[in-house]
Chains A and B, each alone.
Chain A
Amino acid sequence: MPVLVTSGQVCRHSTAVRPIWAPPAPHRYQSGTGAGWRVGTAGHSCQCQSQHSGGSGIAPVPASSVSYRAFFWLVSLLLSSLIWFIAVKASDPQDERLQKGLLIFGVMFSVLLQEAFRFLYYKLLRKAIEGLVALSEDGCSPISIQQMAYVAGVGFGLMSGAFSMINLLADALGPGTVGIHGDSQLYFLTSAFMTMVLIFLHTFWGILFFHGCEHRRWWEIAAVVIMHLTVSGLSFCNPMYVGSLVPSYLLMAAAAAWAYLLSGGSAQNLRRFLLCLRSGASPQPGS
């Protein structure tokens, strides 16, 4: 980073307005990782707020990581669709039971493949974070693995939700009547709720999964995979929505609590948070 510039320096906040400054007191210029400070000796350096450089350091990484995540999910979907497609083409299209069986197989295989890609993504992120840590001066990485876990989960969830819902939404615009052929009339509603629960679940599963990988607790990983298989399997109960939605939401609550605990939350934090909200006082630093 430019230590001092008499004529030009790089200030990395993006603004749309031109500021006109008075000659400032000696600023500090903070390097991108937010870890080190460089002081300009000639008395002026660009003052980049820590939240600017830190923010700009952290914010773009998750944003592009969300798209990487979406890409990984897409690839997993692609591969599982390929397998299913081949299986279907190789089989007799008239046999209902076989088709249903192939569908079940396709769903389960897809779930397993998604989890495998989540693991691959974890490996990739690990390497990336190690690289960033190696580059930074003080051994701190600009972004923690928990944040990446959260972002990874969100990316996965968003992509999965988008793929599930977007065609439905497009159809919902058009003229039509829901359930006119005897199907459930709650199709759109339940699809929306199911998609929502899946997105949340993916987020929490991301946190759990990464935590399990970090701390080598294989049972956490196994729990995530089993939960995913359960939720997908429960969706086979549709249109008996009681059988699929209610357990899914219960599972989501459990996963939420678990992820919250793993991320460092506790009942005490929660209570303090709620109390602060109720009393309207600003929370004390450190609470």
Chain B
Amino acid sequence: MIAFMNNSDSEEEPCNERTSLMSAESPPVPSYQDGLPASEAGEAQAHRKRRAGSSRGPNNIAGGEMSGSGVPVRESILENEEEELTLKYGAKHVIMLFVPVTLCMIVVVATIKSVRFYTEKNGQLIYTPFSEDTPSVGQRLLNSVLNTIVMISVIIVMTVFLVLLYKYRCYKFIHGWLILSSLMLLFLFTYIYLGEVLKTYNVAMDYPTLFIVIWNFGAVGMICIHWKGPLQLQQAYLIMISALMALVFIKYLPEWSAWVILGAISIYDLMAVLCPKGPLRMLVETAQERNEPIFPALIYSSAMMWTVGMAKPDTAARGASQQTWDAAEDGREQLRSPAHAESQMSDTRGPVPTRPVTLEELEEEERGVKLGLGDFIFYSVLVGKAAATASGDWNTTLACFVAILIGLCLTLLLLAVFKKALPALPISITFGLIFYFSTDNLVRPFMDTLASHQLYI
């Protein structure tokens, strides 16, 4: 899911996610809010991992807020600026998302190509109960379709369960789920990964060192993800977690099932985000009604908010804090509400907005875009599978990589145009699948023949 995010437009109201969600509806009178971020504040929150989009609140460009400025601004100029801004931001967001998606894919591909553990078949997840070891093609296809049905049903059930939990305000439950899953991901999966990497490179490590390393990595990760931390460290942890999750999927999903699941997940994503009764859409609407952040967990956010203040030392003491929350763990259906983490953050931000608005205080914010971690995971699964199974060919991996990035560009373009929550999976995965199968079967023989004769096109 991709969402535009803008934090804290005003200082009169308590500045937290609620505010950033609120500011679209109730801008403070004397201050002029940029229509674009104010209305985009509505989508500040993350939904599900896979959702992409930004929902816009009412547009408050309309001149009611000119009182703060003496410059008469015509609405047409504002609209033009807004569109310009949208395009410019669209372009900038593309870059802000290119880098983490690329990094995640690089980590996954590097691991796949070097660590053989992740390409060995060692059983399957319980979510894909049917085996693909059957001799006939038809049976294999049938089994993969059945696996897909099982997996998607599990995802749907968990999503609906989460929506219900959220609707009935079982925040503690969701939060506990969140903590448990990130614990497992940060400690157990990292331990396995580290073990396999050490085995591959034949490096010896004793258990005390291992314990210290894993403990530090996991503890810092938990703090960064659930509480506060430097922006880039948070982003790095989210990327690592997505890569770990993608590697687990690559290892445990059987071949054909993986491809069918990828296709089915993008269709599900499309429906869940865009249909009026889709669970994700209901989630967004519920959160908007309550003016709460919608599951900031499992979202990679490229924006940050900082406060520059001279008058208040406490505000100056606040570092760049960003809401990135915990990431996926086993099964994308686990959504968590960061509500408790949020309230902590909002409390710490409490002192900030209640200070009087002074001219000396400038608040700088950067509009960012959020992409669900599930999107990271499934992009990386596609590219990793291409790297693992494309008969040792790098052209296929490269083609899938380019296809996914182009899909991401197009999705961000659509986001800039439609300005509402959009699913990030369908376009990229479709392009990725098309390019995988066509490059593997059509381009590879051509390029191999050219290379053997050393011809250049």
* Residue with the highest number of chain A CB atoms closer than 10 Å, among B81, B87, B320, B457: B457
Which residues from chain B contact A23 at a C-beta distance below 8 Å? 310, 359-360
Contact with B along A14-56 (1 / 0, CB 8 A): 1010111111000000011100001111111010000000001
Interface membership of A146, Cβ < 8 A:
no
Q: Which residue of B lies closest to A134 (CB)?
A: B80
Near A by CB (< 8 A), chain B positions 51-104 give 68-71, 73, 77, 80-81, 83-85, 87-88, 91-92, 94-96, 98
Interface pair A103/B435, CB less than 8 Å apart = no
Query: 11 A-B contacts, Cβ less than 8 Å apart?
Result: A5-B31, A6-B30, A8-B10, A9-B362, A11-B364, A18-B320, A20-B310, A42-B70, A81-B445, A88-B445, A167-B394
Q: Which of B231, B309, B405 contacts A16 (CB 8 A)?
A: B231
Interface check B137, CB cutoff 8 A: no
CB interface residues, A 211-241, toward B, < 8 Å: 231-232, 235-236, 238-239
B84 and A31: CB pair below 8 A? yes
Q: Which of B11, B84, B399 contacts A33 (CB 8 A)?
A: B84
Contacts of B8 in A (CB 8 A): 8
B398-418 CB mask vs A (1 if < 8 Å, else 0) is: 110011011001000000000
Q: Tell me how many residues of B have a C-beta within 8 Å of chain A.
A: 80
B449 within 8 A of A: yes
Residues of B near A168 (CB, < 8 A) are 451
Min distance, Cβ A95 to any Cβ of chain B, angstroms: 15
List chain A residues, Cβ under 8 A from B84.
1, 31-33, 135-136
Q: Which of B32-40, B171-179, B189-197, B273-281 contacts A (4 or more CB under 8 A)?
A: B32-40
Which residues of the partner chain B approach A187 to less than 8 Å between Cβ atoms? 454
Interface string of A148-181 (1 = CB under 8 A from B): 0000000000011011101110100000000000
Whether a CB of chain A sits under 8 angstroms from the CB of B183 is: no
Q: Which of A60-75 contact B (CB under 8 A)?
A: 60-61, 63-64, 67-68, 70-71, 74
CA distance A21 to B439 in the complex (A): 53
Please tell me which one of the listed residues A5, A39, A137, A166 contacts residue B394 in the complex, with CB atoms under 8 A apart: A166
Please choose the segment from A105-113, A119-127, A254-262 that sits at the chain B interface, where 4 or more of its residues have CB less than 8 A away: A105-113
A19 near B308: Cβ-Cβ < 8 Å: yes
Residue in B88, B92, B447 whose Cβ sees the most chain A Cβ within 10 Å? B88
Closest to A31 in B: B81
Which parts of B1-57 form the interface with A (CB within 8 Å)?
6, 8-12, 28, 30-34, 37
